[in-house]
Amino acid sequence: MTVSQLVYIDSTGYNYEDFPAFLSFFTEGYQAIYGQDVYLGSDSQDGQWIGVQAQAAYDTAALGAAIYNSFAPTTAQGTGLSRLVKINGLQRLVPSNSTVDLVIIGTAFTTLTNAIAVDELGQQWAIPSPTTIPFSGMITVTATAVLPGALNALANTVNMIFTPTQGWQSVNNPAAATPGAPVESDAALRARQAVSTELPALTELESTVAAIAQVLGVTAVQPYENYTNTTNADGLPPHSISMVVEGGTDLAVAEAILLKKTPGTDTYGSTSVPLHDSNGVPITINFYRPTPAVISVQITLTPLLPWISSNETIIADAVATFINTDIPIGGLALDELGTMGVSFTQLFGIAYVPGTTAQGSFIIESIEIKKNAGSFAAADVDLLFNEQAVCDPTTNVTFIV
Protein backbone atom coordinates (compact mmCIF):
# COMPACT_ATOMS: atom_id res chain seq x y z
CA MET A 1 0.00 0.00 0.00
CA THR A 2 1.23 3.48 -0.90
CA VAL A 3 0.43 6.93 0.51
CA SER A 4 -1.54 7.73 -2.65
CA GLN A 5 -3.84 4.83 -1.80
CA LEU A 6 -4.42 6.14 1.72
CA VAL A 7 -5.35 9.71 0.72
CA TYR A 8 -6.44 10.73 -2.77
CA ILE A 9 -8.82 12.92 -4.76
CA ASP A 10 -10.78 11.48 -7.69
CA SER A 11 -14.05 12.12 -9.51
CA THR A 12 -16.00 11.39 -6.33
CA GLY A 13 -14.09 13.99 -4.30
CA TYR A 14 -11.70 13.72 -1.37
CA ASN A 15 -11.11 10.18 -0.04
CA TYR A 16 -9.07 8.71 2.79
CA GLU A 17 -8.88 5.28 4.37
CA ASP A 18 -9.83 4.36 7.93
CA PHE A 19 -7.40 4.29 10.86
CA PRO A 20 -6.60 0.53 10.62
CA ALA A 21 -5.34 1.10 7.06
CA PHE A 22 -3.01 3.86 8.26
CA LEU A 23 -1.78 1.65 11.09
CA SER A 24 -1.16 -1.21 8.68
CA PHE A 25 0.81 1.12 6.38
CA PHE A 26 3.18 2.20 9.17
CA THR A 27 3.46 -1.36 10.52
CA GLU A 28 4.47 -2.74 7.11
CA GLY A 29 7.03 0.02 6.64
CA TYR A 30 8.57 -0.66 10.06
CA GLN A 31 8.75 -4.41 9.40
CA ALA A 32 10.35 -3.81 6.01
CA ILE A 33 13.21 -2.03 7.82
CA TYR A 34 13.65 -4.14 10.97
CA GLY A 35 12.31 -7.52 9.82
CA GLN A 36 9.02 -9.35 9.82
CA ASP A 37 9.70 -10.97 13.18
CA VAL A 38 9.84 -7.69 15.13
CA TYR A 39 7.18 -7.54 17.83
CA LEU A 40 4.82 -4.59 17.40
CA GLY A 41 2.02 -5.37 19.87
CA SER A 42 0.15 -2.51 21.51
CA ASP A 43 1.95 -3.31 24.76
CA SER A 44 5.37 -2.69 23.20
CA GLN A 45 7.15 0.65 22.94
CA ASP A 46 7.69 0.29 19.19
CA GLY A 47 4.02 -0.63 18.69
CA GLN A 48 2.86 2.39 20.65
CA TRP A 49 5.17 4.68 18.69
CA ILE A 50 3.82 3.35 15.39
CA GLY A 51 0.28 3.92 16.73
CA VAL A 52 1.12 7.57 17.51
CA GLN A 53 2.45 8.12 13.99
CA ALA A 54 -0.52 6.39 12.38
CA GLN A 55 -2.97 8.46 14.44
CA ALA A 56 -1.19 11.68 13.50
CA ALA A 57 -1.31 10.79 9.79
CA TYR A 58 -4.98 9.77 10.02
CA ASP A 59 -5.93 13.00 11.82
CA THR A 60 -4.08 15.01 9.18
CA ALA A 61 -6.03 13.22 6.44
CA ALA A 62 -9.29 13.99 8.28
CA LEU A 63 -8.27 17.64 8.55
CA GLY A 64 -7.62 17.64 4.82
CA ALA A 65 -11.17 16.37 4.25
CA ALA A 66 -12.57 19.18 6.40
CA ILE A 67 -10.56 21.76 4.45
CA TYR A 68 -11.63 20.26 1.12
CA ASN A 69 -15.30 20.25 2.17
CA SER A 70 -15.13 23.84 3.44
CA PHE A 71 -15.04 25.08 -0.16
CA ALA A 72 -18.62 23.91 -0.90
CA PRO A 73 -21.75 25.39 0.74
CA THR A 74 -23.31 21.93 1.06
CA THR A 75 -20.48 20.64 3.27
CA ALA A 76 -18.87 23.72 4.86
CA GLN A 77 -19.47 24.25 8.58
CA GLY A 78 -19.44 27.05 11.11
CA THR A 79 -17.18 30.00 10.35
CA GLY A 80 -16.13 28.47 7.04
CA LEU A 81 -19.75 28.43 5.86
CA SER A 82 -20.29 31.99 7.10
CA ARG A 83 -17.34 33.17 5.00
CA LEU A 84 -18.33 31.15 1.94
CA VAL A 85 -21.89 32.49 1.60
CA LYS A 86 -20.54 36.04 1.33
CA ILE A 87 -19.94 35.14 -2.32
CA ASN A 88 -23.75 35.16 -2.66
CA GLY A 89 -24.06 38.42 -0.74
CA LEU A 90 -25.34 36.65 2.38
CA GLN A 91 -24.40 36.70 6.03
CA ARG A 92 -25.41 34.42 8.88
CA LEU A 93 -28.41 35.79 10.76
CA VAL A 94 -27.59 36.80 14.33
CA PRO A 95 -29.97 35.90 17.17
CA SER A 96 -32.67 38.36 18.20
CA ASN A 97 -34.34 38.81 21.58
CA SER A 98 -37.85 37.72 22.49
CA THR A 99 -40.34 40.39 23.55
CA VAL A 100 -43.41 40.40 25.77
CA ASP A 101 -46.02 43.01 26.69
CA LEU A 102 -46.14 43.56 30.45
CA VAL A 103 -48.82 45.26 32.53
CA ILE A 104 -47.09 47.10 35.38
CA ILE A 105 -49.09 48.27 38.39
CA GLY A 106 -47.78 50.58 41.09
CA THR A 107 -47.87 53.93 42.75
CA ALA A 108 -48.43 56.86 40.39
CA PHE A 109 -45.26 58.59 39.10
CA THR A 110 -42.95 55.79 40.30
CA THR A 111 -39.98 55.59 37.93
CA LEU A 112 -38.46 52.19 37.12
CA THR A 113 -34.80 52.31 36.12
CA ASN A 114 -33.09 49.19 34.72
CA ALA A 115 -36.02 47.17 36.04
CA ILE A 116 -36.29 43.46 35.31
CA ALA A 117 -39.25 41.09 35.58
CA VAL A 118 -38.84 37.34 35.70
CA ASP A 119 -41.09 34.51 34.57
CA GLU A 120 -41.86 31.17 36.17
CA LEU A 121 -38.93 29.56 34.34
CA GLY A 122 -36.49 32.10 35.76
CA GLN A 123 -36.05 33.92 32.43
CA GLN A 124 -35.38 37.65 32.84
CA TRP A 125 -37.21 40.37 30.89
CA ALA A 126 -35.81 43.90 30.80
CA ILE A 127 -38.32 46.74 31.10
CA PRO A 128 -37.58 49.90 29.06
CA SER A 129 -35.55 52.29 31.18
CA PRO A 130 -36.75 54.64 32.46
CA THR A 131 -40.43 53.71 32.73
CA THR A 132 -42.71 55.99 34.75
CA ILE A 133 -46.03 54.71 36.07
CA PRO A 134 -48.72 57.27 35.14
CA PHE A 135 -51.46 58.77 37.32
CA SER A 136 -53.74 55.77 36.61
CA GLY A 137 -51.28 53.48 38.43
CA MET A 138 -50.96 51.12 35.49
CA ILE A 139 -48.88 51.07 32.33
CA THR A 140 -48.28 48.53 29.54
CA VAL A 141 -44.74 48.27 28.18
CA THR A 142 -42.88 45.92 25.87
CA ALA A 143 -40.10 44.13 27.71
CA THR A 144 -37.14 42.46 26.03
CA ALA A 145 -35.57 39.16 27.04
CA VAL A 146 -32.13 39.63 28.60
CA LEU A 147 -30.80 36.59 26.74
CA PRO A 148 -31.03 36.35 22.92
CA GLY A 149 -32.78 33.51 21.15
CA ALA A 150 -36.23 31.95 20.99
CA LEU A 151 -37.32 32.31 24.63
CA ASN A 152 -40.96 31.40 25.27
CA ALA A 153 -43.26 32.64 28.00
CA LEU A 154 -46.91 31.65 28.20
CA ALA A 155 -49.56 34.18 29.17
CA ASN A 156 -49.64 35.11 32.88
CA THR A 157 -46.23 33.61 33.60
CA VAL A 158 -44.05 36.75 33.65
CA ASN A 159 -45.40 37.72 37.05
CA MET A 160 -42.45 38.24 39.40
CA ILE A 161 -40.37 41.32 40.20
CA PHE A 162 -36.63 40.64 39.95
CA THR A 163 -35.47 44.16 40.86
CA PRO A 164 -37.68 45.42 43.73
CA THR A 165 -38.46 49.13 43.49
CA GLN A 166 -40.46 51.15 45.97
CA GLY A 167 -43.85 51.84 44.45
CA TRP A 168 -43.74 48.93 41.99
CA GLN A 169 -46.44 46.52 43.12
CA SER A 170 -46.98 43.87 40.45
CA VAL A 171 -46.27 42.78 36.89
CA ASN A 172 -47.97 40.35 34.50
CA ASN A 173 -48.16 39.44 30.83
CA PRO A 174 -51.74 39.00 29.55
CA ALA A 175 -50.48 37.43 26.30
CA ALA A 176 -47.68 35.03 25.43
CA ALA A 177 -44.25 36.35 24.49
CA THR A 178 -43.12 36.73 20.91
CA PRO A 179 -40.09 34.45 20.56
CA GLY A 180 -36.89 35.86 19.10
CA ALA A 181 -34.82 34.09 16.51
CA PRO A 182 -31.89 31.84 17.47
CA VAL A 183 -28.56 32.19 15.71
CA GLU A 184 -28.99 30.81 12.21
CA SER A 185 -27.96 27.16 12.02
CA ASP A 186 -25.66 25.73 9.35
CA ALA A 187 -28.61 23.84 7.84
CA ALA A 188 -30.77 26.97 7.61
CA LEU A 189 -27.91 29.01 6.13
CA ARG A 190 -27.24 26.31 3.53
CA ALA A 191 -30.92 26.31 2.57
CA ARG A 192 -30.95 30.10 2.26
CA GLN A 193 -27.79 30.00 0.16
CA ALA A 194 -29.39 27.48 -2.19
CA VAL A 195 -32.47 29.68 -2.57
CA SER A 196 -30.33 32.78 -3.15
CA THR A 197 -28.97 31.29 -6.38
CA GLU A 198 -32.48 31.65 -7.82
CA LEU A 199 -32.37 35.47 -7.56
CA PRO A 200 -31.45 35.83 -11.27
CA ALA A 201 -33.89 33.04 -12.23
CA LEU A 202 -35.92 33.35 -15.41
CA THR A 203 -39.01 32.15 -13.53
CA GLU A 204 -40.32 35.20 -11.69
CA LEU A 205 -41.98 33.24 -8.90
CA GLU A 206 -38.74 31.55 -7.80
CA SER A 207 -36.87 34.83 -8.17
CA THR A 208 -39.46 36.59 -5.98
CA VAL A 209 -39.17 33.88 -3.32
CA ALA A 210 -35.38 34.20 -3.38
CA ALA A 211 -35.60 37.98 -2.94
CA ILE A 212 -37.95 37.66 0.03
CA ALA A 213 -35.75 35.00 1.64
CA GLN A 214 -32.85 37.46 1.71
CA VAL A 215 -34.81 40.04 3.71
CA LEU A 216 -33.33 40.42 7.18
CA GLY A 217 -35.40 38.48 9.70
CA VAL A 218 -37.33 36.33 7.22
CA THR A 219 -37.31 32.71 8.37
CA ALA A 220 -39.79 31.07 6.00
CA VAL A 221 -41.51 31.79 2.67
CA GLN A 222 -44.29 29.78 1.02
CA PRO A 223 -45.38 30.98 -2.45
CA TYR A 224 -48.74 30.41 -4.16
CA GLU A 225 -49.69 31.33 -7.72
CA ASN A 226 -53.07 31.28 -9.43
CA TYR A 227 -52.46 31.44 -13.18
CA THR A 228 -56.05 30.51 -14.07
CA ASN A 229 -58.98 32.75 -15.02
CA THR A 230 -61.00 31.85 -11.92
CA THR A 231 -60.56 32.08 -8.15
CA ASN A 232 -58.89 28.90 -6.92
CA ALA A 233 -59.65 26.66 -3.92
CA ASP A 234 -57.46 28.77 -1.63
CA GLY A 235 -59.42 31.91 -2.50
CA LEU A 236 -56.65 33.45 -4.62
CA PRO A 237 -58.00 35.73 -7.38
CA PRO A 238 -57.23 34.99 -11.05
CA HIS A 239 -53.69 35.74 -12.25
CA SER A 240 -52.32 36.59 -8.83
CA ILE A 241 -49.55 35.55 -6.51
CA SER A 242 -49.70 35.21 -2.75
CA MET A 243 -46.67 34.96 -0.49
CA VAL A 244 -46.93 33.66 3.06
CA VAL A 245 -43.93 35.14 4.86
CA GLU A 246 -42.66 34.57 8.39
CA GLY A 247 -40.37 37.24 9.83
CA GLY A 248 -39.00 40.48 8.42
CA THR A 249 -40.67 43.87 8.48
CA ASP A 250 -43.81 44.45 6.39
CA LEU A 251 -42.08 47.20 4.41
CA ALA A 252 -38.96 45.18 3.57
CA VAL A 253 -40.99 42.13 2.49
CA ALA A 254 -43.31 44.25 0.32
CA GLU A 255 -40.36 45.99 -1.34
CA ALA A 256 -38.79 42.62 -2.20
CA ILE A 257 -42.05 41.45 -3.79
CA LEU A 258 -42.42 44.66 -5.78
CA LEU A 259 -38.85 44.40 -7.03
CA LYS A 260 -39.21 40.88 -8.46
CA LYS A 261 -42.87 40.19 -9.24
CA THR A 262 -44.10 40.01 -12.83
CA PRO A 263 -45.46 43.35 -14.11
CA GLY A 264 -49.24 43.34 -14.12
CA THR A 265 -49.52 40.44 -11.69
CA ASP A 266 -51.77 41.15 -8.72
CA THR A 267 -50.68 40.34 -5.18
CA TYR A 268 -53.05 38.91 -2.60
CA GLY A 269 -53.02 38.64 1.19
CA SER A 270 -54.26 40.09 4.46
CA THR A 271 -51.20 42.34 4.98
CA SER A 272 -51.19 45.40 2.72
CA VAL A 273 -48.30 47.85 2.24
CA PRO A 274 -48.70 50.99 0.07
CA LEU A 275 -45.62 51.67 -2.09
CA HIS A 276 -44.59 53.41 -5.29
CA ASP A 277 -43.08 51.66 -8.29
CA SER A 278 -39.94 52.85 -10.09
CA ASN A 279 -42.00 55.41 -11.99
CA GLY A 280 -43.59 56.84 -8.85
CA VAL A 281 -46.97 55.23 -9.49
CA PRO A 282 -48.77 54.18 -6.26
CA ILE A 283 -49.12 50.44 -5.83
CA THR A 284 -50.24 48.28 -2.90
CA ILE A 285 -48.40 45.02 -2.24
CA ASN A 286 -50.35 42.34 -0.39
CA PHE A 287 -49.10 39.18 1.30
CA TYR A 288 -49.92 36.90 4.22
CA ARG A 289 -48.37 36.39 7.60
CA PRO A 290 -48.66 32.73 8.70
CA THR A 291 -51.55 31.92 11.02
CA PRO A 292 -50.40 29.70 13.93
CA ALA A 293 -52.11 26.32 14.03
CA VAL A 294 -51.46 24.77 17.43
CA ILE A 295 -50.81 21.05 16.99
CA SER A 296 -51.33 18.98 20.13
CA VAL A 297 -50.05 15.41 20.35
CA GLN A 298 -51.19 12.66 22.72
CA ILE A 299 -48.89 9.64 22.93
CA THR A 300 -49.97 6.39 24.56
CA LEU A 301 -47.01 4.17 25.41
CA THR A 302 -45.98 1.12 27.38
CA PRO A 303 -42.75 1.60 29.37
CA LEU A 304 -39.97 -0.96 29.29
CA LEU A 305 -36.84 -1.24 31.38
CA PRO A 306 -34.95 1.05 31.83
CA TRP A 307 -37.82 3.59 31.49
CA ILE A 308 -37.57 6.83 33.50
CA SER A 309 -40.10 9.65 33.60
CA SER A 310 -37.65 12.18 32.17
CA ASN A 311 -37.84 10.26 28.86
CA GLU A 312 -41.17 12.04 28.32
CA THR A 313 -39.28 15.34 28.02
CA ILE A 314 -36.92 13.85 25.40
CA ILE A 315 -39.85 12.53 23.36
CA ALA A 316 -41.86 15.76 23.67
CA ASP A 317 -38.89 17.90 22.60
CA ALA A 318 -38.24 15.71 19.54
CA VAL A 319 -41.88 15.74 18.43
CA ALA A 320 -42.30 19.49 18.98
CA THR A 321 -39.03 20.28 17.19
CA PHE A 322 -40.15 18.27 14.14
CA ILE A 323 -43.51 20.05 14.01
CA ASN A 324 -42.00 23.50 14.50
CA THR A 325 -39.06 23.19 12.10
CA ASP A 326 -39.70 20.41 9.57
CA ILE A 327 -43.32 21.11 8.63
CA PRO A 328 -43.45 24.07 6.22
CA ILE A 329 -46.15 26.71 6.04
CA GLY A 330 -49.26 25.01 4.68
CA GLY A 331 -48.07 21.57 5.81
CA LEU A 332 -46.62 18.49 4.15
CA ALA A 333 -48.30 16.60 1.32
CA LEU A 334 -50.69 14.00 2.79
CA ASP A 335 -51.96 12.32 -0.38
CA GLU A 336 -51.83 12.38 -4.16
CA LEU A 337 -54.80 14.75 -4.24
CA GLY A 338 -52.69 17.62 -2.96
CA THR A 339 -54.05 17.67 0.59
CA MET A 340 -51.59 19.40 2.92
CA GLY A 341 -51.20 19.15 6.66
CA VAL A 342 -49.60 17.18 9.51
CA SER A 343 -49.29 13.39 9.26
CA PHE A 344 -49.81 11.56 12.55
CA THR A 345 -48.11 8.39 11.24
CA GLN A 346 -44.93 10.35 10.49
CA LEU A 347 -44.65 11.21 14.17
CA PHE A 348 -44.10 7.56 15.15
CA GLY A 349 -40.55 7.54 13.80
CA ILE A 350 -39.81 10.86 15.51
CA ALA A 351 -41.37 9.82 18.83
CA TYR A 352 -39.17 6.73 19.09
CA VAL A 353 -36.25 9.24 19.45
CA PRO A 354 -33.51 7.18 17.77
CA GLY A 355 -30.01 7.91 19.02
CA THR A 356 -31.11 9.21 22.42
CA THR A 357 -30.96 7.69 25.89
CA ALA A 358 -34.72 7.12 25.74
CA GLN A 359 -34.52 4.87 22.69
CA GLY A 360 -35.70 1.32 23.34
CA SER A 361 -37.25 2.06 26.75
CA PHE A 362 -40.87 2.09 25.57
CA ILE A 363 -43.37 0.88 22.99
CA ILE A 364 -45.77 3.36 21.40
CA GLU A 365 -49.33 2.05 21.42
CA SER A 366 -50.93 5.01 19.63
CA ILE A 367 -50.42 8.62 18.62
CA GLU A 368 -53.32 11.03 18.31
CA ILE A 369 -53.17 14.65 17.18
CA LYS A 370 -55.47 17.64 16.94
CA LYS A 371 -55.41 21.20 15.64
CA ASN A 372 -56.30 24.10 17.93
CA ALA A 373 -59.46 23.26 19.89
CA GLY A 374 -60.31 20.12 17.91
CA SER A 375 -60.54 16.58 19.26
CA PHE A 376 -57.69 14.08 19.44
CA ALA A 377 -57.80 11.42 16.73
CA ALA A 378 -55.44 8.96 15.08
CA ALA A 379 -55.79 10.84 11.81
CA ASP A 380 -53.95 13.43 9.76
CA VAL A 381 -54.67 17.11 10.36
CA ASP A 382 -55.26 19.42 7.40
CA LEU A 383 -53.71 22.88 7.31
CA LEU A 384 -54.87 25.92 5.40
CA PHE A 385 -52.41 27.25 2.84
CA ASN A 386 -51.37 30.08 5.17
CA GLU A 387 -51.25 28.13 8.45
CA GLN A 388 -48.01 27.34 10.28
CA ALA A 389 -47.95 24.31 12.57
CA VAL A 390 -46.66 25.15 16.07
CA CYS A 391 -46.22 22.92 19.09
CA ASP A 392 -45.03 23.65 22.63
CA PRO A 393 -43.35 20.55 24.11
CA THR A 394 -44.40 21.45 27.65
CA THR A 395 -48.11 22.04 26.98
CA ASN A 396 -49.01 20.49 23.63
CA VAL A 397 -47.42 17.04 24.00
CA THR A 398 -49.07 14.79 26.58
CA PHE A 399 -48.60 11.15 27.54
CA ILE A 400 -50.70 8.22 28.66
CA VAL A 401 -48.32 5.73 30.25
Is it the case that residue 144 has pLDDT exceeding 80?
yes
Same domain, 243 and 336: no
Q: Are residues 275 and 301 in the same domain?
A: no
Identify residue 307 by its one-letter amino acid code: W
Spatial distance between the Cα atoms of 90 and 272, rounded to a whole number of angstroms: 27
Q: Are 128 and 235 in contact (CB under 8 A)?
A: no
pLDDT (mean) for 142-151: 88
- Choose the final residue of a domain: 49, 69, 89: 69
Do 259 and 272 lie in a common domain?
yes
Q: Which whole number is the average pLDDT over 257-286? A: 90
Last residue of a domain, one of 24, 48, 69: 69
Residue 78 lies in a domain: no
β-partners of residue 371 are 295
Q: 204 with 280, same domain? A: yes
pLDDT cut 70: percent of the chain above it: 98
In terms of domains, do 105 and 128 share one? yes
Residues 361 and 312 in one domain: yes
Let me know if residue 207 belongs to a domain.
Answer: yes
Number of domains in the chain: 4
pLDDT digits (tens, 9 = 90+) for 31-65: 999 998 888 888 899 999 999 999 999 999 999 98
Average pLDDT over residues 113-140: 93
Please indicate, yes or no, whether residues 297 and 396 belong to a single structural domain of this protein: yes
Most confident of 173-182, 193-202, 344-353: 344-353
pLDDT band at residue 202 using 50, 70 and 90 as cut-offs: low
pLDDT higher for 262 or 330?
A: 330
| pLDDT attached to residue 151 | 85
Q: Are residues 297 and 392 in the same domain?
A: yes
In a domain, 123, yes or no: yes
Contact 141, 128 (CB under 8 A): yes
Domain stop point among 232, 256, 287: 287
Task: Verify that 313 and 396 share a domain, yes or no.
Answer: yes
Range of the domain at 396: 291-400
Identify whether 371 is part of a domain: yes
Does 250 reside within a domain? yes
The answer to the question of residue 206 being in a domain is: yes
Same domain, residue pair 281 and 307? no
Is residue 333 one of the residues assigned to a domain? yes
- For residue 161, tell me if it sits in a domain: yes
Same domain, 146 and 54: no
pLDDT at 199 over 70: no
What pLDDT does 86 receive? 79
pTM flag (> 0.75): no
Q: Same domain, yes or no, for 313 and 362?
A: yes
Q: In what order do the strands lie in the sheet with 340-342?
A: 332-333, 340-342, 381-382
Judged against a pLDDT cut of 80, whether residue 204 lies above it is answered with no
Beta bridge partners of 333: 340
At 1 the pLDDT is: 72
Burial 121-160 (b: 16+ CB within 10 A, else e): eebbbbbeeebebeeeeebebebbbeebebbbbbeebbbe
Residue 84's pLDDT band, with cuts at 50, 70 and 90, is confident
Cα–Cα distance measured from residue 377 to residue 358, given in angstroms and rounded to the nearest whole number: 25
